[in-house]
Amino acid sequence: MKRGYRALVLVTTCLAFIVVTVGAYVRLMDAGLGCPDWPGCYGELSPAHAASDIAGAVAAQGGEHGPVSLRKAWKEMFHRYLAGTLGLLILAITVVTWRRRAALRASPGLPVALLALVILQAALGMWTVTLLLKPVIVTLHLLGGMATLALLVWLSLRQLSLRSPGLPRASRLRIMAAAALAVLITQIALGGWVSSNYAALACVDFPTCHGEWIPQMDFEHGFQLVRELGRTAAGTHLAYQALTAIHWTHRIGAVLTVLFVGALCIGLLRVRDTAGYGVMLALILAIQVALGVANIVAGLPLAVAVAHNAVAALLLVTLVVINFALSRVSSEFLP
């Protein structure tokens, strides 16, 4: 029973990572409105069943260069099929945990929280489409996906025999690890805001922006949460200075992330029991920074942009693993 449950949780966690990555691909391919209704596609089960409706929409928009095309519809629906499967697996985990909690010696609290989160994610996915890619909804949908992945990783770690560091010095890293995780979550939110506002190329030079360290920026309109895509809250066109403010803030967040996560890497490397975590975290952080820079200097290649999102999820997973391991340090070692 425990072995089967463990396998179910691990498979679901891997699928969550795939869903997050595919979601980034769909967003970067501008395929989020490939099917303008929800949960089906023009009221049908698949784009194949809605081929005539899609052809009509393509003709009305003057070609396949707009938000609707058969290929974009398939990409959007493939993501929905994966997300739906993920939701069913989380439902199965919740039911099994609740019914077999005595045999599994597991509390159903976390699976129930995951089920509630995935229901919210479904609603955000629907609103992403029906509200025409409102930046705040798209960003919350991204954060919900990352939160689902993080909680599933935590649940998976409960099923594994993970050896915890037992040194007093290792226990002092708990605060650093929690701070690094909080900073990373904030940076992921900023990255989502950049992506949902199509501000990734608002600055095309590096390390400066428009040839300046502090360019002209409009933070007031750039960070208005309740507004349409490309518009201010008043309905006027969103100025380029607002997009610059969004992009520049993400760069500053990247610097802070490197400082906090880098400091944690150094702390982990100084303790024998946690040195392996330090090496792994430093490697993933370096790859993520390189991908971020490559996105700018190479003009946002699709493969690099998708990899940047995937490695952000991997960095989140790594920090969740480290926080889990450090949380198991015996309280007798706490300073």
Using CA atoms of 41, 43, 45, 47 in order, give the dihedral in degrees to the nearest 10.
-40
Which pLDDT does position 230 carry in this prediction? 96
User: How far apart, in whole angstroms, are the C-alpha atoms of residue 60 and residue 26?
Assistant: 22
Coil vs helix vs strand at 237: strand
Which pLDDT does position 64 carry in this prediction? 82
Q: Is it the case that residue 168 has pLDDT exceeding 90?
A: no
Q: Is it the case that residue 149 has pLDDT exceeding 50?
A: yes
Angle, CA 278 vertex, CA 275 and CA 281 arms, to 5°? 155
Which pLDDT does position 327 carry in this prediction? 87
For 45-76, what is each residue's pLDDT tens digit? Answer: 999 999 999 999 999 988 888 889 999 999 99
Does this model's pTM top 0.85? My answer is: yes
For 279-316, what is each residue's pLDDT tens digit? Answer: 999 999 999 999 999 999 999 999 999 999 999 999 99
For 3-41, what is each residue's pLDDT tens digit? Answer: 899 999 999 999 999 999 999 999 999 999 999 999 999
Which pLDDT does position 334 carry in this prediction? 43
Average pLDDT over every residue of 75-96: 97
**Better-predicted residue by pLDDT, 271 or 260:** 260
What are the φ/ψ torsions at residue 209 (nearest 5 degrees)? -130, 115
User: How far apart, in whole angstroms, are the C-alpha atoms of residue 132 and residue 126?
Assistant: 10
Which pLDDT does position 164 carry in this prediction? 61
Q: Which of 64, 76, 212, 220 is catalytic?
A: 76
pLDDT band at 331 (very low <50, low <70, confident <90, very high): very low
Residue type, 204: V
Domain locations along the chain: 1-161, 165-335
**Lowest-confidence range among 55-59, 101-105, 180-184, 208-212?**
101-105
For 240-258, what is each residue's pLDDT tens digit? Answer: 999 999 999 999 999 999 9
For 90-128, what is each residue's pLDDT tens digit? Answer: 999 999 999 998 888 889 999 999 999 999 999 999 999
Helical residues (DSSP H) of the chain, grouped into ranges: 2-28, 51-60, 70-99, 101-104, 109-130, 135-159, 168-171, 173-196, 219-222, 240-269, 275-297, 302-327
Catalytic residue list contains 76: yes
User: How far apart, in whole angstroms, are the C-alpha atoms of residue 241 and residue 248?
Assistant: 10
- With a pLDDT cut of 90, the percent of the chain lying above it is 86
